[in-house]
Amino acid sequence: MRVAVFGANGGIGRELLPRLAEADHEPIGVVRDESQFDAVRERGGEPRLGDLEGAFESALEGVDAVVFTAGSGGDTDWGKTLLIDLWGARRTVDACVERGVDRYVMISAFGASEPLGDPEEMRPYWVAKRCADDFLEQSPLEATILRPTALTDDEGTGRIAATFEHREAGEHAIPRADVAATVVACLETDEAVGETIRLFGGDTPIESAIDPDG
C-alpha cells in the first residue's frame, strides 16, 4: 500500500515512516520544503512536496491511503490551528474523495471527544480537531480516527489500551512510537474502518487492541 503521510516530519510522522516501510508498505512523506527530503529518505520514505496552506494535491499521485498527522504546533496562534488542523485536514479529505484515495487515518486528539472540557485554554484546539473529525466521518472515505491521550517520546512498547468511542476510557500517556505502530495496524485491518478509537498507554498488544478477533 502506498501511504502518504501529512506531517511526516513531526513527532508521530518520524516514527511512522520506518514502521510503514518495515511492514512492506510504501511510505510517502509529504513535507513543505525540499530541505526535509533527506530526513524523509533516511526514514524509508519517498519525499514529496505539499503545503497544507497552499498546493499539495500532486503529492497524492498514485496513493492508496492517507495518514494525517500534521499540526500547527504548540508555539503558534489559534489562527494557524484553524488553517492546518481544521482547514488543512478538510482539504486533504476533499482531495482524497476527488482522486479516489479511499483509505484515510486521522490522528486527532483525546480532547476532541469532549471539546468543551478542561483545561479551557485547549478548547479551540479540540474544537478544530473535532470539526475535522466530523467532516471526515461524513465523507465517503474508509476512515479511522485515532484520539491519543498525552504523548511522550518514550521508546515504544508495542502495547496500548484502546477504547472505541463511547466506551470506558483509560488515562495513561502513550509514546508517539506506539501511536505510529497503531496506525500501521489500523491500515492492515478492516475492523478499524469507520471507528473512532481513543488510545492510551497499556498492556494489550497493539494488533489485539485494534482487532480483538483478529
Determine which one of 125, 148, 199, 210 is catalytic. 125
In this structure, the number of other CB atoms found within 10 A of the CB of residue 203 comes to 10
Cα-Cα-Cα-Cα dihedral sign, residues 48, 54, 60, 65: positive
Is 104 annotated in the active site?
Answer: no
CA distance 15 to 69: 11
Calculate the dihedral angle through the C-alpha atoms of 117, 119, 121, 126, rounding to the nearest 10 degrees.
Answer: -40
Q: Which residue in 58, 65, 62, 83 sits closest to 73, CA to CA?
A: 83
Are the C-beta atoms of residues 7 and 69 closer than 8 Å to each other?
yes
* Backbone dihedral angles phi then psi of residue 173, each to the nearest 5 degrees: -60, 160
Q: What is the DSSP letter of 48?
A: E
Helix (H) or strand (E) holding 164: strand 159-164
Which residues are designated catalytic? 125
